[in-house]
Amino acid sequence: MKQRIESGKRKIRYGIIGGGFRAEFFLKAALEVPELFEAAGIVTNFPEHTAEQRARLGVTLYRSAEDLLEHEKPDFLVVTTKRPADKPPQEPMDRLVGLGCPILMETPAARSFEELHHIYELCKGKKVQVAEQVHAQPENEARIALAHSGILGTLSQAELSFQHSYHCMNVLRRFLKIGFENAEISGKVFHFPVVQGYTRSGVSNTENIVKEKRVFGLLDFNGKLGIYNYEDNQVRAYARAEHIAVRGERGEISNRTVRWLHTHEDFRQYTYERIYSGVQTNLEGFFFRGLMGGGKWIYSNPYPHRFLYDDEIAVMAVLEKMARYVREGGSFSSMANACQDQYLALMIEKSAKEGRPILTETQPWADEADILA
């Protein structure tokens, strides 16, 4: 099984703007794979949130992005700050993009149609990428590769119930190879009871039944169909599972099962498995090795011998892609694509609110020559 970390590989140094939940992922990368990732410094108004990780890494706390850049000279900045509705962000992108350092910006690109247009114009022509990582989670990366291998035929449908809004739109577009094409969108909202799952604060001591919003969206891209189905907090609800399907005329992938025609009267099928070391008599330590199906590896963990969950692996993959972009060029997650993901998600909500199908319109970022790889 191929392992991607190479001895002597140039270290990736990045500064972090923000100290909340998402910042912890980028600090964790430096903690777990110090031979490849280095957090060069952090700027945050909430130093207590990352105090333990900073102490273990010896990461310096800076008062401003300018201070960090002057003292550390990182390859790029990771901007994880969120903009509250009632006040400006701690380090506004309007100022950060003018500092001359490449930026990896956390999702979402913006929260409204107006903000999307502003952020796109602000970042146009600048070295800015967006840290959309869900497609790089091991199972999603494997499914996308399998879907594009040709065994399913021409892909025509993707049905996703596993992540919210712009994250889901990004994976849907990757499955169906949708660029900036317009679509007819129909959205619908329902509210259903469900036993509350866990939150970022942990699991409740009591059972609580809450009403969660479930959003359905049908996206018709001139014959290619995307189906969006997501319930608020679904990713943290023990009573809910993810459902992912992509189909062509010769087969489909349904969650972990791959089924395709061998001839018109015969088919092949397998269900891939997650393979771990450290099970029974294996003494390598407990870690995720990869995904195996049909008698071969369909995904190999590039960061073995570490206890990581899927989203952490995906964030590390994005950091590697960002470093390659800074050093060699070649967009991998452009602002244009991030804006399109959020635009489609907002249009589903708009259709549901107005109770009618809506036709999307070509947006300014559609002029950008960019491929969703």
Closest CA to 333 of 318, 317, 353, 316: 318
- Domain assignment present for residue 350? The answer is no
Its pTM stands at 0.92
- Domain assignment present for residue 94? The answer is yes
Do residues 88 and 155 share a domain? no
Q: How sure is the predictor about 90, in pLDDT bands with cuts at 50, 70 and 90?
A: very low
Closest CA to 219 of 168, 184, 246, 175: 184
Contact of 122 with 147, CB cutoff 8 Å: no
Average pLDDT over residues 69-98: 78
Q: What is the CA radius of gyration of the chain?
A: 21
pLDDT computed for residue 234 by the predictor:
87
Do residues 102 and 231 share a domain? no
- Domain assignment present for residue 250? The answer is yes
Distance CA 102, CA 326 (A): 7
Q: How sure is the predictor about 86, in pLDDT bands with cuts at 50, 70 and 90?
A: very low
Contact of 41 with 62, CB cutoff 8 Å: yes
- Domain assignment present for residue 114? The answer is no
Give 270-290 pLDDT, tens digit per residue.
999 999 999 999 999 999 999
Average pLDDT over residues 169-186: 97
Number of other residues whose CB lies within 10 A of the CB of residue 35: 11
Closest CA to 2 of 213, 298, 276: 298
pLDDT computed for residue 49 by the predictor:
72
CATH number of the domain where residue 88 is located:
3.40.50.720
Q: How sure is the predictor about 19, in pLDDT bands with cuts at 50, 70 and 90?
A: confident
Do residues 30 and 172 share a domain? no
Residue 18: C-alpha distances to residues 26, 63, 111, 352 (Å): 11, 11, 18, 34
CA angle 110, 72, 89 (to 5 degrees): 25
Do residues 158 and 226 share a domain? yes
Edge-to-edge, what's the strand order for the sheet holding 358-359? 266-271, 257-263, 251-254, 243-248, 155-161, 224-231, 209-221, 184-195, 358-359
Give 132-158 pLDDT, tens digit per residue.
999 999 999 999 999 999 999 999 999
Do residues 170 and 278 share a domain? yes
Do residues 65 and 150 share a domain? no
pLDDT computed for residue 372 by the predictor:
57
* Number of domains forming the structure of the chain: 2
Do residues 289 and 141 share a domain? yes
Residue at which a domain ends, from 106, 125, 152: 106
Do residues 89 and 146 share a domain? no
Do residues 71 and 142 share a domain? no
CATH number of the domain where residue 275 is located:
3.30.360
Do residues 144 and 22 share a domain? no
Reported in sequence order, the residue ranges of the chain that DSSP labels E, i.e. its strands, are 12-17, 37-43, 61-62, 76-79, 103-105, 128-130, 155-161, 184-195, 209-221, 224-231, 243-248, 251-254, 257-263, 266-271, 273-277, 287-293, 296-300, 358-359
Compute, in degrees rounded to 10, the torsion defined by CA atoms 204, 207, 212, 214: 100
Phi, psi of 59 (to 5 degrees): -80, 130
* Structural domain containing residue 87: 12-106
Average pLDDT over residues 327-336: 95
- Domain assignment present for residue 57? The answer is yes
Do residues 250 and 178 share a domain? yes
Do residues 82 and 148 share a domain? no
CA angle 267, 271, 274 (to 5 degrees): 155
Give 101-117 pLDDT, tens digit per residue.
999 999 998 889 999 99
Sequence-distant (6+) residues with CB within 8 A of 40 are: 13, 14, 15, 59, 68, 72, 73, 74
Residue 363: burial class (beta carbons within 10 Å; 0-12, 13-18, 19+): middle
Q: Which tokens go with 136?
A: 């790089």
Give 200-220 pLDDT, tens digit per residue.
778 888 898 989 999 999 999
Closest CA to 244 of 227, 259, 225, 260: 227
pLDDT computed for residue 338 by the predictor:
96
